[in-house]
Chain A
Amino acid sequence: MRLPLLAVCLSLLALVLLPRAGQAQARYTLTGFIRSGADKSVLPGASVAVPALGTGATADSTGQYALTLPAGRHQLVISFIGYQSQTRELNLTHNQRLSFSLPESRNELGEVTVVGSGTLEQKLQTPQMSVEHLTTREAKLLPALFGEVDLLKTLQLKPGVQNGGEGTGGLYVRGGSADQNLFLLDDAVVYNPSHLFGLFSVFNPDAVQSVDLYKGGFPAQYGGRLSSVVDVKLREGDPQKYSVSGGLGLISSRLTLEGPIVKDKGAFIVSGRRTYFDVFTRQINKLNKNTEDYSPIPDYYFSDFNAKANYKLGAKDQLFLTGYYGRDVFGFNSTNGFNFDFSWGNTVGSLRWNHVFSPKLFVNTTVSATRYQYSIANKLDQFAFSLSSDIQDYAVRTDFEYAPDDRHVFKAGATATSHLFGVGRLQAGSQDGSLNIGSDVQYHGQEASLYAADNFKATDKLQLEYGLRLTGFRSGSDWFGGLEPRASARYSLTPKTSLKASYAQMYQYVHLVTNSGASLPTDIWYPSRLNVKPQRSQQVATGVSFLLLGGQYLLTNEVYYKWARNQVDFRDGAQLFANADLDAEFLFGKGWSYGNELYLEKKTGRTTGWVGYTLAWTQRNFQPQRGTTGINNGKDFFPTYDRRHNLTVVVLHQLTERLNLTGSFVYTSGAPTTLPAGRFQLQDIFGAGDQLGGNPVPIYPDRNTYRLAPYHRLDLGVVYKLKPRHGESDLTFSVYNAYNRRNPYFVYFDQVKDKATDQVTSYRARQVSLFPVIPSVTYNFKF
C-alpha cells in the first residue's frame, strides 16, 4: 500500500517541477490579490469569475488568486459577500498581474455586512468539504459573553464542533479532544489558544482578518494534529491612511493602530487589549484591608499584543512580519507571608516572504518561532518554590503553488520544525539552605514534512483534490514517520446539487499531558518517544449540497466516520510534574466517532444566518495495560465531550442602515460525567481524619455513565451605529443566556446536617451553573 502512495507523491512533485510547455499557447494566466477597499486587507475566498466562459478562481488564504484564460477580451466579475461586486474589461495578451479592491457594501440595505467565505455558489462548487470560514466582521455582530467577541466561541456554533463546557473556548471537533486542534496564527503554531482557563481565546478580534476551521478533508499542506486545523490570519493594515480603532467593554479594552509604512508599498497594524478585573479587585482589597478575617481577592489580568507589517520589495516580492505576545498574570500576596505568582502565555513570531516567479508559479516561505510557557513562584515565609514549563518551536516552511492551466492547481511544500520540550523545571528551597531540591526535564524533537497536492478539474462536473503528506519525527534516538494520503472530490449532479467525499489520514507527534477534564495552563506538551507512540487518525466523510431558492440558501448534509489510534490518557494518580519517567504514566487507547451534520445557511439579504444540527457519537477504549486495569476496566466509554444532539440557530437581521439585530440559540444533549455511586467512611490513622460520619470517600463506578441535563441557551444582540463627528462608532448590546437558563456545569454531592446537632443526616446532589443572564454593552470606535 505504501509504495504506490509514495509513487503518487513523487509523481505529483514531478508534475510541479516539470515544465508543461504544451498547454501554454494562447492561454495566459492572470494573478493578483483581492483586497478590501476599506482597509486593504486581503479577502481570502473572494472570487474572480468570467461568466461568459463559466470559469473563475477563488483567492487563497493569502488573498491571492490565479486564473488561466484564453488570450483575448474578457469580462471579469470580482465579488465577495459583504462587498460591492466589480466588473472589469480586460484584453489578455500575456501573463499578467492584476489586483482588485472591493468597496464594502455596509450601507446597502440589500447586502448585510455579515458573512463567511465566498458565495454559496463557491461553497457548492469547491471539492473542499468540512471547512468553516469565519470573518471578524461576522463574529463582531453576534452576541457574546461579557460582550467579548471571541472567534473560537463563534466557531462552536458550527455543526460538528462542541465546546468543553459553559463559556469555554475549547474546540472538540468531530469527536477529537481539545489538544488535537492545530492553531495557526499566520502559519506559526499557537500551543495554548486560551486566556483565563479557556473562558476567552487569545485571538484579539480587532487584529484578526479571518479564521478557517477544517474539520475533515484536510488539504495536504496541513498536518500535525488529528482533528482540526484552525488557520487564523491577521489583518495587514491599511496601506493608504492611518486609523485608530478600539473598544471599551465590561471587562477589557482594545486599541488598534494601523497605517502605511510607505504609502501603497507597505502597511502595519498593532493591536492590544487588556482586562481590568485587577483594577477593581485591588480597590476592593484596599477598602477592606482593615476588615477582620478578610481574605484579599487575588490579582488577575490578561493582556495580549498583536503586530503585523507587510512591505513590497518589488513587483514580485513581498514580506509579512507577524508578532504576538500574550500573558495571563495571577498574583496573590497575603499579609501572613504567603505569596503566589503565576503567569502563562504564548509568544509567536513569523516572517513570510511571498515571491512570484511567474503568473503561474509563486511561493511563500515562512520562518517562525513560537513559545508557550508558564511559571509559578510560591513563597511561604522562609520556603520558596518555583515551577516552570515551556515548549519552544523554531520552524521553516515553504509552499509552492503552480497553476499551469485552468484545470490544475498544484501545491507542494515542506516544513521543518525544531521543538524543545521543557517538561518541567522545579526548584524548592529554604532561605537557610537546609532544603534545596531541583529537577529539570527537557527533551528535543525534530519534525519534518513534505507534501504535494493537485486540485484537478477533471470535467465540468468532477473536480478532485488529492495529495500526499510525508511526515517524520525524531526525539533522541527514536524515529517515527507516516504517510498521510488526502483526497476530496466534488461531483455536480446538477448546477445546484453537488456530491462530495473526502478521506484524510493524520499523525500527531506531540501530546498534551493533562489529567484534567478541561485545559489548564499547567498542561504540558510532550514528544513522541519510544514508549509514547504518535497518535493517528483516519477520517472519511461524504456529503451532499443543494443550492435552494435561487441560490439564497445552501443546504449541506455531511456524514463522517473517524478512527483514532494511540489516544493518550494517564493512569490514576499519575505524577505529571517534574517526572523524569513520564513515559510510564501514559495509557494508550483507541477512539472512534461518527455523525451526521446538517447545515442550512443564508448569506445574502437583510436576514442572514444558519441552522446546524449534528447527531454524533464519540467513544474511547483503553484496555488493561502497564499494570493497570486500563480506563473503565477496559470497557468502551463516552468522553466528556460526547454529545448526541446539537442544534444551533444563528440569525442576523439588518433592521435599518444603523441597526442590526442578532440572536443565537444552542441546544445540546447532556454531557457525560462520572458521579460517585457509593461511599465509605475512613477514619484514618491515630491523630488524623474523621470518625465515622465525617467526610465520606466517594466510589466511582464506570466512567461517564451519568448524563447532565441538556444545555440550551439564547443570546441576543443589538449593534447600533452611532453618528460621530469623526470616524465611525457603534454600541453593541449583548444579552448572554437571555432566558436565564440554569445550565448544568457540574454536579456534586453534599452533606445535609442537622442544624441543632451539626450531625450529618443525609446526602444530596447539587447542580452548579456558571453563568446566569448576563447583559453587557461595548462601545467600539474607529477614526
Chain B
Amino acid sequence: MFVATLLKRWIGLSLLLGAAGCNLQKDIDVDLPAVPSQLVTECYLRPGEIPRLTVSETTPYLSTAQPTLLTDVTVTLTLPNGQQQKLQFRPGLDRLTQKIYTHIGQRALVARPGDTFTLDVQDSKGRHVTGTATMPALVPLDTVEWKFNDKTGEQRKAYVLTKFRDPAATADFYRLQIHKDSISVDSERDFTLDDRLTNGTQMTLGTSYRFSANDTLLITLYHLDEPYYRFLQSVDDARNANGNPFAQPAAIRSTVQGGVGVFTVLSSDRRTIIVK
C-alpha cells in the first residue's frame, strides 16, 4: 500500500509541477452539490489531562476559509463508572499543545486500559453526534537506540531505532512520533502502522541518518484503537485524492456516529533521549 501510495503521489506531484511549469493549469468554476452541514468533533482523551474537545462543522469546499464558532453545542462525557461530566463551552488555546479547543472539562481524567468512555454532542439545530472509545492497553517502548555514521563535522548524523513487543493475541495499531526539543512543534517523524505482517514479534522502527550530536529527541509510541487508525488512514486517503488523478476518492471513516470526526483515548509511552 505504501508503495502504491508513494507511486501515485509521485506521479500526481510530477503532473502538478509539470502542468504548473508549462502553464497548463487554470481556475475554473465548478458547480458542487449542496450537502448538509455536519458537526465535526475532535476529542483525544489522555489519562491525567483535563478533557478538551473541539467542535466545528463541515462547510462547502469553496466557501470562505473563516471558521465559524459554534456557540450552541452541549457536550457530555460519560465516564467508565457511568458518571456524566459536562464539558463547558470555553473556547481557548492550549498553550502546551498549541491546539484550539471549544469545550473543556473540569477535572483531570482518570483512565485505565480497558476503560470505556462515551461522548454525546448536540446542538440547537438537532444535530447529534455520539461516540464510544475504549482505552487500549499500554505497549511500552523496549529500546530506543541511536548510531552515528562514520562522517565528520556537519555530515556526522545519527539514526534512531525504536523497538517494542507487539501483543500476539490482538490486531494492533500504532503511531510513533519523534519530536526534536519540544513536543509542541510538528514532529520530525510520524509513522502509523499495523501488525499485519509482524504480529507477536518485536517491532522495529527507525529513521535515516538525520540527527545531530546533542539533539534532544522525544519518542512517543501510541497504541491506537482500530477505529482511530482507520480514521487516520481515511483522512490521509481523502487528502491524497485531492489533486491526484490516480487516487480513488475515499470516504472519511469517522469514529463517531451522526457526524464527522474522532473520539478516542490515547495510550502512549514516551522516552526522551539526547543523541551523543
Query: Cβ of A376: which chain B residues have Cβ within 8 Å of it?
Result: 3
CA distance A685 to B148 in the complex (A): 31
Chain B positions 191 through 224: 1 when the CB is less than 8 Å from some CB of chain A, otherwise 0: 0000011100000101011000000000010100
Asked if B57 is at the interface (CB within 8 A of a chain A CB), the reply is yes
Say yes or no: A700 contacts B251, CB within 8 Å. Answer: yes
Q: What are 22 residue pairs bridging A and B, where the CB atoms are less than 8 Å apart in the complex?
A: A338-B208, A430-B206, A434-B204, A439-B197, A515-B248, A520-B7, A577-B3, A675-B61, A677-B60, A678-B60, A681-B40, A698-B61, A700-B249, A706-B30, A709-B28, A746-B244, A749-B62, A764-B27, A766-B27, A767-B26, A770-B15, A770-B24
Query: Cβ of B96: which chain A residues have Cβ within 8 Å of it?
Result: 686
Say yes or no: A693 contacts B67, CB within 8 Å. Answer: yes
CA distance A520 to B184 in the complex (A): 39
Say yes or no: B62 contacts A687, CB within 8 Å. Answer: no
Given A678-B60, A686-B97, A768-B19, do A573 and B35 touch, yes or no (CB 8 Å)? no
Interface residues of B in 165-209 (CB under 8 A from A): 177, 179, 183-187, 190, 196-198, 204, 206, 208-209
- Which 10 A-B residue pairings sit nearest by Cβ, starting from the closest? A748-B243, A746-B245, A435-B204, A700-B249, A769-B24, A674-B249, A686-B97, A680-B40, A678-B58, A687-B183
Chain B positions 52 through 64: 1 when the CB is less than 8 Å from some CB of chain A, otherwise 0: 0010111111111
Tell me the smallest distance from the CB of B172 to a CB of chain A, in Å: 15
Say yes or no: B234 contacts A572, CB within 8 Å. Answer: yes
CA distance A762 to B64 in the complex (A): 5
Asked if A313 is at the interface (CB within 8 A of a chain B CB), the reply is no
Q: Which residue of the partner chain B has the closest CB to A332?
A: B10
Query: Cβ of A51: which chain B residues have Cβ within 8 Å of it?
Result: none
Query: Cβ of A336: which chain B residues have Cβ within 8 Å of it?
Result: 208
Given A518-B245, A766-B27, A769-B19, do A382 and B159 touch, yes or no (CB 8 Å)? yes
Query: Cβ of B266: which chain A residues have Cβ within 8 Å of it?
Result: 685
Query: Cβ of A21: which chain B residues have Cβ within 8 Å of it?
Result: none
Say yes or no: A688 contacts B187, CB within 8 Å. Answer: yes
Query: Cβ of A761: which chain B residues have Cβ within 8 Å of it?
Result: 64-65
Interface size on B, residues (CB 8 A): 90
Query: Cβ of B161: which chain A residues have Cβ within 8 Å of it?
Result: 430, 434
Asked if B253 is at the interface (CB within 8 A of a chain A CB), the reply is yes
Contact of B245 among A165, A387, A434, A578 (CB under 8 A): A165
Tell me the smallest distance from the CB of B131 to a CB of chain A, in Å: 15
Query: Cβ of A576: which chain B residues have Cβ within 8 Å of it?
Result: 1, 4
Chain A positions 1 through 21: 1 when the CB is less than 8 Å from some CB of chain B, otherwise 0: 000000000000000000000
CA distance A517 to B12 in the complex (A): 12
Asked if B144 is at the interface (CB within 8 A of a chain A CB), the reply is no
Query: Cβ of A759: which chain B residues have Cβ within 8 Å of it?
Result: 65
Asked if B116 is at the interface (CB within 8 A of a chain A CB), the reply is no
Asked if A24 is at the interface (CB within 8 A of a chain B CB), the reply is no
Say yes or no: B54 contacts A683, CB within 8 Å. Answer: yes
Asked if A763 is at the interface (CB within 8 A of a chain B CB), the reply is yes
Say yes or no: B59 contacts A767, CB within 8 Å. Answer: no
Chain A positions 676 through 699: 1 when the CB is less than 8 Å from some CB of chain B, otherwise 0: 111111110111110111011111
CA distance A682 to B256 in the complex (A): 14
Say yes or no: B65 contacts A760, CB within 8 Å. Answer: yes
Query: Cβ of B190: which chain A residues have Cβ within 8 Å of it?
Result: 688
Contact of A699 among B19, B44, B260 (CB under 8 A): B260
Say yes or no: A572 contacts B250, CB within 8 Å. Answer: yes
Asked if B16 is at the interface (CB within 8 A of a chain A CB), the reply is yes
Asked if B235 is at the interface (CB within 8 A of a chain A CB), the reply is yes
Asked if A575 is at the interface (CB within 8 A of a chain B CB), the reply is yes
Query: Cβ of A197: which chain B residues have Cβ within 8 Å of it?
Result: 11
Say yes or no: B245 contacts A517, CB within 8 Å. Answer: yes
Tell me the smallest distance from the CB of B259 to a CB of chain A, in Å: 10
CA distance A342 to B11 in the complex (A): 14
Interface residues of A in 179-213 (CB under 8 A from B): 197
Tell me the smallest distance from the CB of A570 to a CB of chain B, in Å: 8
Say yes or no: B250 contacts A383, CB within 8 Å. Answer: no
Q: Which residue of the partner chain B has the closest CB to A686?
A: B97
CA distance A17 to B198 in the complex (A): 59
CA distance A650 to B2 in the complex (A): 43
Chain A positions 623 through 643: 1 when the CB is less than 8 Å from some CB of chain B, otherwise 0: 000000000000000000000
**Given A685-B266, A751-B65, 4 extra CB contacts under 8 A:** A573-B234, A682-B235, A697-B235, A768-B19
Asked if B163 is at the interface (CB within 8 A of a chain A CB), the reply is yes
Asked if B272 is at the interface (CB within 8 A of a chain A CB), the reply is no
Contact of A697 among B15, B54, B238 (CB under 8 A): B238
Asked if A662 is at the interface (CB within 8 A of a chain B CB), the reply is no
Tell me the smallest distance from the CB of A701 to a CB of chain B, in Å: 5
Asked if B230 is at the interface (CB within 8 A of a chain A CB), the reply is yes
Q: Which residue of the partner chain A has the closest CB to B24?
A: A769
Say yes or no: A520 contacts B19, CB within 8 Å. Answer: no
Asked if B100 is at the interface (CB within 8 A of a chain A CB), the reply is yes
Tell me the smallest distance from the CB of A694 to a CB of chain B, in Å: 10
Say yes or no: A763 contacts B206, CB within 8 Å. Answer: no
Query: Cβ of A659: which chain B residues have Cβ within 8 Å of it?
Result: none
CA distance A430 to B202 in the complex (A): 14
Asked if A293 is at the interface (CB within 8 A of a chain B CB), the reply is no
Given A517-B247, A573-B230, A703-B249, do A692 and B61 touch, yes or no (CB 8 Å)? no
Q: Which residue of the partner chain A has the closest CB to B243?
A: A748
Query: Cβ of B3: which chain A residues have Cβ within 8 Å of it?
Result: 376, 387, 522, 577
Asked if A426 is at the interface (CB within 8 A of a chain B CB), the reply is yes
Query: Cβ of A767: which chain B residues have Cβ within 8 Å of it?
Result: 25-28
Say yes or no: B61 contacts A680, CB within 8 Å. Answer: no
Query: Cβ of A315: which chain B residues have Cβ within 8 Å of it?
Result: none
Query: Cβ of A337: which chain B residues have Cβ within 8 Å of it?
Result: 208-209
Query: Cβ of B251: which chain A residues have Cβ within 8 Å of it?
Result: 572, 700
Interface residues of A in 689-727 (CB under 8 A from B): 689, 691-693, 695-703, 705-706, 709
Q: Which residue of the partner chain B has the closest CB to A750?
A: B243
Say yes or no: B56 contacts A766, CB within 8 Å. Answer: no
Q: Which residue of the partner chain B has the closest CB to A516?
A: B246
Asked if A292 is at the interface (CB within 8 A of a chain B CB), the reply is no
Tell me the smallest distance from the CB of A380 to a CB of chain B, in Å: 5
Chain A positions 303 through 341: 1 when the CB is less than 8 Å from some CB of chain B, otherwise 0: 000000000000000000000000000000000111000
Interface residues of B in 25-79 (CB under 8 A from A): 25-30, 32-35, 37-38, 40, 42, 44, 46, 54, 56-65, 67
Asked if B241 is at the interface (CB within 8 A of a chain A CB), the reply is yes
Asked if A84 is at the interface (CB within 8 A of a chain B CB), the reply is no
CA distance A576 to B242 in the complex (A): 21
Asked if A437 is at the interface (CB within 8 A of a chain B CB), the reply is yes
Given A517-B246, A762-B64, do A687 and B24 touch, yes or no (CB 8 Å)? no
Tell me the smallest distance from the CB of A696 to a CB of chain B, in Å: 8
Q: Which residue of the partner chain A has the closest CB to B69?
A: A692
Q: Which residue of the partner chain A has the closest CB to B8?
A: A516
Say yes or no: A434 contacts B97, CB within 8 Å. Answer: no
Asked if B99 is at the interface (CB within 8 A of a chain A CB), the reply is yes
CA distance A764 to B30 in the complex (A): 9
CA distance A439 to B61 in the complex (A): 41
Query: Cβ of B16: which chain A residues have Cβ within 8 Å of it?
Result: 748, 768
Given A515-B248, A764-B62, do A573 and B233 touch, yes or no (CB 8 Å)? yes
Say yes or no: A516 contacts B247, CB within 8 Å. Answer: yes
Tell me the smallest distance from the CB of B145 to a CB of chain A, in Å: 9
Q: Which residue of the partner chain B has the closest CB to A745?
A: B245
Asked if B138 is at the interface (CB within 8 A of a chain A CB), the reply is no
Say yes or no: A772 contacts B22, CB within 8 Å. Answer: yes
